[in-house]
């Protein structure tokens, strides 16, 4: 492939991204990557309910394929950066298009989740960094044990402020997912009067299931089901 063809294709891509539609498409695609990660991450976390040996073996098995782990982390990191960048740029474009706000703010036709997307996102970003420092790197975990996630989770969620922060973050995640998933369908052009109600129902059900799955672990620790 010639350099001219590459430059032409790159130029077309950048011009498309410079549009509002292009930025929304990037948010949709990177959001889909995030949804896939959440499903796989939740499936791994729920192995806590299968016992210490199963959960710890799962951690060891993941470390046995470093190329897979670091490859997935790289893709996810790029997706998060692109997602945040597009979201910030869309916000700036929206504000630039209407530099003077409405005299009276109206929320008709918008959900509470959609109106809180821009502040729930940064909070979730801060939570992700804390979550990594807590359970992955062990920097802020007082009893961190390498490759022993079962014991790390039990000890970590016995600290009430950490557990409450986790619960709040998961509720915000559910709200973010609900609106984000529905917006993804719209950005990808998957919108039709016949299917719209079903898509909205799917977005709500998916966000509730994901949230409930993640919350089940700290709640189980607090209730003594996991110990």
pLDDT at 131: 92
Asked whether 122 and 80 are in contact (CB, 8 A), the reply is no
Distances (CA, A) of 131 to 138, 156, 176: 9, 10, 18
pLDDT in tens, 163-208: 999 999 999 999 888 888 877 777 767 766 777 788 888 889 999 9
pLDDT at 2: 56
Residue with tokens 């410079």: 18
Question: Does 106 score more than 60 pLDDT?
Answer: no
Question: Does 6 score more than 60 pLDDT?
Answer: no
Residues of the chain with pLDDT > 70: what percent? 85
Alpha-carbon distance of 63 to 147, in angstroms, equals 9
Asked whether 154 and 219 are in contact (CB, 8 A), the reply is no
pLDDT in tens, 107-124: 444 555 555 666 677 788
pLDDT at 88: 82
pLDDT at 210: 94
Distances (CA, A) of 42 to 38, 97, 168, 217: 6, 40, 17, 10
Domains (range + CATH), the chain: 3-223 (1.20.1300)
pTM: 0.82
SS3 63: helix
């Amino acid at each position: 492939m010639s350099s001219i063809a590459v430059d032409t294709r790159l130029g077309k891509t950048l011009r498309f991204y410079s549009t509002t539609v292009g930025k929304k498409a990037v948010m949709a695609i990177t959001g889909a990557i995030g949804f896939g990660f959440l499903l796989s991450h939740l499936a791994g976390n729920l192995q806590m309910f299968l016992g210490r040996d199963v959960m710890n073996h799962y951690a060891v098995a993941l470390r046995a394929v470093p190329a897979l782990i670091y490859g997935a982390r790289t893709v996810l990191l790029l997706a998060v950066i692109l997602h945040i960048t597009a979201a910030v740029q869309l916000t700036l474009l929206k504000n630039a298009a209407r530099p003077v706000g409405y005299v009276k703010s109206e929320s008709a036709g918008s959900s509470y989740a959609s109106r809180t997307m821009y502040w729930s996102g940064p909070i979730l970003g801060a939570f992700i960094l804390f979550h990594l420092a807590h359970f992955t790197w062990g920097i802020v975990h007082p009893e961190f044990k390498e490759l022993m996630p079962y014991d790390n989770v039990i000890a970590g969620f016995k600290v009430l402020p950490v557990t409450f922060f986790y619960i709040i973050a998961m509720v915000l995640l559910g709200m973010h997912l609900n609106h984000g998933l529905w917006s993804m369908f719209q950005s990808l052009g998957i919108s039709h009067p016949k299917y719209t109600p079903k898509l909205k129902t799917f977005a709500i059900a998916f966000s509730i299931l994901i949230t409930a799955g993640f919350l089940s672990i700290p709640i189980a620790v607090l209730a003594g089901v996991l110990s």
